[in-house]
Amino acid sequence: MGEQQFTVVADGGVTTPKGFRAGGLHCGLKKTTRHDLGAIVCDVPATAAAVYTLNAFQAAPLGVTKESIAREGKLQAMVVNSGNANACTGKQGEADAREMRAAAAQAFGVAEHLVGVTSTGVIGEPLPMEKVRRGIAGLPEQVKADGSVDFCQAILTTDLVQKMICVKVNVGGQTIHIAGAAKGSGMIHPNMATMLGFLTTDADIDSIDLQKLMNKATDESFNMITVDGDTSTNDMVVVMASGLGGGGKLHPGHSDWDSFAAGFGHVAEYLAKAIARDGEGATKLIEVNVIGAASDEAARAIAKTVIGSSLVKSACFGADANWGRIIAAVGRSGQPVNTETVDIRLGDITVLEQSRPIRFDEEKAAEYLKGEFVLIHVNLNMGAGKATAWGCDLTYEYVRINAAYRT
């Protein structure tokens, strides 16, 4: 799959695919005046698929959204609030999530089982439902064909930047769009993180094929990022396909399936990397590329271990070419490793060859590590397994943000 199979749409967003509107408003969940309630709405019931956090404690909205999608594999509206996670809130939290769904269904004039809900923010505090009710009632007039940016703002918590992308591909002679928006900055770790992702497309595709595509894209993107090693209670990525773009039914045997899958994967990877780059207090994006592993599964585990190492992340923040921290992480990954054959590079600077130190220019390496992007390349020289993971450096600012998260 190459870049030529899709084209990035400048200024595109979740409303670019045909049939979608979005928007947001401030209903009072956040102490600031930034938007804290948003929605994506489709003109028709859209084929839907989703992936959820693997945390044993799952926030109430996740169960409600699972229930909605399970009914017939479709959604027509997705409502999200930020500033309050509605997690670990007991039976009241479940009732509040269901009330959000019912209120949104009434506001947008759609069947209740066609509405999904999700929340992000502080855990353990009940939703102030009077504010939520009032906000949902006001959403329809804010949900518009040009509302992608307002929606993006409504889903942010400690994020510093909005994360949005759209690509177009050719399917059956028609232009099909795939777009996405995401939030995530802290409590980020593989197997979903404190992150929410929303993908839209105007492709015509069955829910089973869409779910398989979502699972694969998630494994290669959202499940390959980490900021701090913590997996949240609220993580969810959901995709809605309106089917209004034309080009015929898409399926794995379709001649344009690979192009569509490449575009879909690019949207997921872009959003995942944007989350990693926007890690709380982060100053740089780190990419760990592992090749030569015994299997792809082993490579993924090793890449995740390296990118998740607090010592590796701290060394990158301090521009310290301490390769010992990298090889130590490789060795504790629990995967097969030949301790005599490991090569490590920082960018194009070789620091270890066949598990033996190589003399390198420390000043040049330090200068490289001061940049906004750091590539750590690990070759195990054992097999054909490969994987890539993304993360960020660990900074003083991360500690400051999380030491006072509720205040």
Here the tokens at position 224 are: 């390959």
Choose among 209, 289, 203, 297: nearest CA to 244.
203
Instruction: To the nearest 10°, report the CA torsion of 189, 190, 191, 193.
Output: 30
Choose among 59, 158, 150: nearest CA to 100.
59
Residue pair 344/360 in contact (Cβ under 8 Å)? The answer is: no
Alpha carbon 115 to chain centroid distance? 21
Find the angle CA(216)-CA(376)-CA(313) to the nearest 5 degrees. 95
Told to judge if 118 belongs to the known catalytic residues of this protein, a careful annotator would answer no
How far from 29 is each of 126, 151, 154, 155, 208, CA to CA, in Å? 11, 15, 11, 12, 36
Residue pair 200/17 in contact (Cβ under 8 Å)? The answer is: yes
| Active-site position among 16, 65, 118, 194 | 194
Choose among 27, 46, 81: nearest CA to 199.
46
Query: Any idea which residue has 């990035």 for tokens?
Result: 8
Residue pair 258/1 in contact (Cβ under 8 Å)? The answer is: yes
| Rounded distance between C-alpha atoms, residue 236 and residue 229, angstroms | 17
Catalytic center residues: 194
